[in-house]
Amino acid sequence: YPRELADRYHADDRKVLAGESVINQEEFGIDAAGGQRWFLTIKVPLRDAAGNIGGMVRVSRDITERREQEQKIVRLNRVHAVLSGINSAIVRIRNRDELFHEACRIAAMHGAFRIAWIGLRDAEGTTQPVAWAGEGSEFISESHDNPDATLSQHGAARMAMSEERVVIENDIEQTGPIDWIRAGAIEHGCKSVIGLPLYSEEKIAGALVLYASERNAFDDKEELKLLEELAGDVSFALTFIAQQEKVNYLAYYDTLTGLPNRTLFFDRLSWQLASAGREGSGVALVILNVDRFRMVNDTLGRHAGDALLKAIADRIKASVRAEDTVTRLGADGFAIAASGAWRAQELAHLIESRNRGLFSSPFSVEGEELRVSATAGAAVFPADAQNAEVLIANAEAALNSAKRQNVPLLFYDPEMNAQAAESLRMENRLKRALENNELALWYQPKIDVMTGKLTGFEALMRWMDPQAGMISPAKFIPIMEQTGLILDAGNWALSQVARDCATWQEAAKVAPRIAVNVSPLQLRAKEFVDNVIDAADGIEQTGGILDLEITESVIMENVDAVIPKLQTVRGLGVRIYIDDFGTGYSSLAYIARLPIYALKIDRSFVVGMTQSEDSLGIVNSVISLAHSLKLRVVAEGVETEVQADLLRKMACDEFQGYLFGKPVPSADVPAIMRRLS
Ligand code: C2E
Ligand code: CA
Ligand code: CA
């Protein structure tokens, strides 16, 4: 290059003109056809006889091929790193979810893939992402529980699964955003994708999908081989985990009924006792034996016997709570461990009740209706025993006495038997009370804090027993819950509100809002929404408005099933109150998703407010939290001016309590309405 020309080049060239040599520099250039090339260059100054620099010599070699090779090696090294990372994870990890997350994390971090995710086929046959990694990949979690967001069958994951082959698309912008994952990937700068099928026990189980930020990232044979090897290793781990689970299953579960066996039961019971011990609560254990089971086996055959045991197991599981432990003990025995010593009576009803007992309706076995009975023994922690061994032994001892005395159930502690008998008598009396119309609703006003005016009433059930007089719901509602009578009683309450509204309308031309308490059992029932629609209609016709109070714990138990029900109810104009708020364990994320009108702070906090800083703090934060979720707050059980003042200062919205009005019989409602409107 003559000086004039070289001067126009970049800084390096000027350095050469100043006397420096440049040896072996990699330079980028464009060839005549416009292709990108790389050169290895040497530049030396060119001097005349006097030593003045008049230009430079430049020698370049085209090293484009070599550079590409090198980059490929870098990539291969990265994939190797991923492979060895995942292999060490496989050795370490014994849990599917964890393995998936780790595989995605390693692929994104060490493999420099933009996004890595794993999809599995769920029970309905649709593909769901279960793990993902890579910067910005959280968008997958945001839409992945949206039921409408299905993945395209032309996407890499579903194709890899349905065709059981490696699927490569080297330019995804061409195909466009075929579904939400693809759209997100494009938005995050991904250009190519590979879908690798994953297998468990030789059956297709899912797909690993890797997105790269370059086009044509997956056109190298060697790299592909490594990636396939990687998918193979994850598949191997899946198979291993599945087999391990089967071995565990056989060791800990009864294969006929699917219930935990004695070994696992003992573990779980010990765990239940330990946690009850820490919380200062209890555990009720019932061991029951199917009466004359051998006769079923002998007369109908073993097959029928097995079917009966399975049917009993299913019914027990359906009748207890999900967190209770149910187990098969011996050939014809079962055990139920329920957290909460108070649940002993509930279990007693489950065994003995003629209305809703486990054995009150026949079992259908191979086309025959079999009437079956059982004998049971029960013991309670910590009253009867301090550890699992003794608790089981004492329940078994009680079972043996029950068999000798030929009664359906005995407790280890005789006093509990008296209670169980009383509670069973109560059940029968309550059944009659419902039939004879001995129930009534009383009404307690709720007051707006700002205006002091009435906002509505809460309907509270009373039992007018001809012999004992008025009985409080605290005494009989729990028994109604245990026996299922609450379903009828709850429907009675809904219809009674309509009748009371009609009376008020006729006598005094007033029509209030009435909140009715809903029991967990009602909420779970299939007919719940229909019943509420009917009741709301009937009440509306008399000018009144129906609201509902539902306790916190029920809603949280099964949020996904409850939300659509509540939404329908809310659509009718029915306000939903969360009752006894603060006593359950609500997740805020759920509260925000529910169509709720207000939270009712449990009376225990209102009482505690003036006694402990903690309660005061809880009330305060519940109120501000509710307000931030645009919910109103009702304080329950306000009895003193001091409490009312504190609550006013914390911006509580409504009061309910003896300070403003005790529950009154239906006839007194119009007078209260006149006074407080
Ligand atoms: P809840 O839903 O929390 O109802 C509030 C209870 O607090 C009522 O007791 C009410 O009389 C009482 N209360 C209100 N203000 C005060 C106060 O200032 N001080 C005190 N000490 N207590 C106050 P009640 O009527 O005995 O009802 C007890 C529980 O029985 C109710 O608690 C509710 O869980 C249940 N219950 C009542 N009626 C029904 C019903 O129709 N259906 C269902 N499923 N449960 C009901
Ligand atoms: Ca209530
Ligand atoms: Ca309450």
The predicted pLDDT at position 342 comes to 82
Closest CA to 262 of 392, 409, 400: 392
pLDDT surpasses 80 at 585: no
Say yes or no: CB of residue 643 within 6 Å of ligand 1.
no
Ion ligand 3 neighbours, Cβ < 5 Å: 579-580, 636
CA distance 430 to 618: 38
The predicted pLDDT at position 627 comes to 92
Say yes or no: CB of residue 477 within 6 Å of ligand 1.
yes
Give the Å distance between the CA of 394 and the centre of ligand 3. Answer: 38
Give the Å distance between the CA of 628 and the centre of ligand 1. Answer: 28
pLDDT surpasses 80 at 587: no
Smallest CA separation from ligand 1 atom 20, residue:
637
Conformational region of residue 173, where left means phi above 0, alpha means psi within -120 to 50, and beta covers everything else: alpha
Q: In what order do the strands lie in the sheet with 53-62?
A: 22-30, 36-47, 53-62
Q: How confident is the model at residue 60 (pLDDT cuts 50, 70, 90)?
A: confident
Q: How confident is the model at residue 147 (pLDDT cuts 50, 70, 90)?
A: low
Mutate to test the pocket of ligand 1, among 480, 517, 664 (most ligand atoms within 8 A of CB): 517
pLDDT surpasses 90 at 39: no
Q: Hey, how many other C-beta atoms are within 10 angstroms of the C-beta on 88? A: 12
Give the Å distance between the CA of 579 and the centre of ligand 2. Answer: 5
Residue range 71-80: mean pLDDT, rounded: 80
Smallest CA separation from ligand 1 atom 24, residue:
473
Closest CA to 305 of 331, 327, 334: 331
Residue position matching structure tokens 């049917």: 311
Q: pLDDT for 443-469, tens place per residue?
A: 999 999 999 999 999 999 999 999 889
CA distance 387 to 381: 8
How high does pLDDT run on average in the chain? 89
Give the Å distance between the CA of 603 and the centre of ligand 3. Answer: 7
Q: pLDDT for 157-197, tens place per residue?
A: 999 999 999 999 999 988 888 888 898 999 999 999 999 99
Q: Are 655 and 634 in contact (CB under 8 A)?
A: yes
Residues facing 209 on adjacent strands: 117, 195
Q: Which atom of ligand 1 lies closest to the CA of 663?
A: 11
pLDDT surpasses 90 at 596: yes
Q: In what order do the strands lie in the sheet with 115-121?
A: 127-133, 115-121, 203-212, 192-200, 167-169
Q: Hey, how many other C-beta atoms are within 10 angstroms of the C-beta on 290? A: 20
pLDDT surpasses 80 at 368: yes
Q: Hey, how many other C-beta atoms are within 10 angstroms of the C-beta on 196? A: 25
Say yes or no: CB of residue 490 within 6 Å of ligand 1.
yes
Smallest CA separation from ligand 1 atom 44, residue:
519
Give the Å distance between the CA of 580 and the centre of ligand 2. Answer: 7
CA distance 432 to 426: 10
pLDDT surpasses 70 at 355: no
End-to-end CA distance of the chain: 100
The predicted pLDDT at position 154 comes to 85
Nearest bound ligand to CA 474? 1
Residue range 346-362: mean pLDDT, rounded: 84
Say yes or no: CB of residue 551 within 6 Å of ligand 1.
no
The predicted pLDDT at position 6 comes to 60
Say yes or no: CB of residue 579 within 6 Å of ligand 1.
yes
* Host H or E run for residue 513: strand 513-518
Q: pLDDT for 638-662, tens place per residue?
A: 999 999 999 999 999 999 999 999 9
Say yes or no: CB of residue 580 within 6 Å of ligand 1.
yes
Smallest CA separation from ligand 1 atom 19, residue:
637
Q: If you ran DSSP here, which 8-state letter would residue 116 be given? A: E
Give the Å distance between the CA of 461 and the centre of ligand 1. Answer: 8
444: tokens are 């307690």
Give the Å distance between the CA of 170 and the centre of ligand 2. Answer: 61
CA distance 240 to 194: 25
**Minimum mean pLDDT range among 144-148, 291-295, 373-377, 673-677:** 144-148
Smallest CA separation from ligand 1 atom 11, residue:
663
Q: Are 217 and 210 in contact (CB under 8 A)?
A: no
CA distance 187 to 42: 43
Q: If you ran DSSP here, which 8-state letter would residue 464 be given? A: E
Proportion of the chain above pLDDT 70, given as a percent? 96
Give the Å distance between the CA of 494 and the centre of ligand 2. Answer: 14
pLDDT surpasses 90 at 491: yes
Mutate to test the pocket of ligand 1, among 439, 442, 477 (most ligand atoms within 8 A of CB): 477
**Minimum mean pLDDT range among 33-42, 105-114, 263-272, 567-576:** 33-42
b (16+ CB within 10 A) / e for 549-588? bbbbebbbbebeebeeebebbbeeebbbbbbbbbebebee
Angle between helices 613-628 and 641-649 (to 10 degrees): 50
pLDDT surpasses 90 at 519: yes
Contacts of 75 (CB under 8 A, 6+ apart): 220, 223
CA distance 554 to 478: 15
pLDDT surpasses 70 at 586: no
pLDDT surpasses 80 at 556: no
CA distance 635 to 581: 10
- The secondary structure of 312-328 as a DSSP string is HHHHHHHHS-TTSEEEE
The angle at the Cα of 418, spanning 417 to 422, to the nearest 5 degrees, equals 115
Phi and psi at residue 198, to the nearest 5°: -115, 140
Say yes or no: CB of residue 657 within 6 Å of ligand 1.
yes
CA diameter of the chain = 133
Contacts of 190 (CB under 8 A, 6+ apart): 114, 115, 172, 211, 212, 213
Mutate to test the pocket of ligand 1, among 460, 476, 604 (most ligand atoms within 8 A of CB): 460
Give the Å distance between the CA of 498 and the centre of ligand 3. Answer: 22
Q: pLDDT for 225-243, tens place per residue?
A: 888 988 998 998 888 888 8
Q: pLDDT for 471-485, tens place per residue?
A: 999 989 988 987 788
Q: Hey, how many other C-beta atoms are within 10 angstroms of the C-beta on 451? A: 9
28: tokens are 């980028």
Q: How confident is the model at residue 583 (pLDDT cuts 50, 70, 90)?
A: confident
Closest CA to 445 of 453, 457, 455: 457
Q: If you ran DSSP here, which 8-state letter would residue 383 be given? A: T
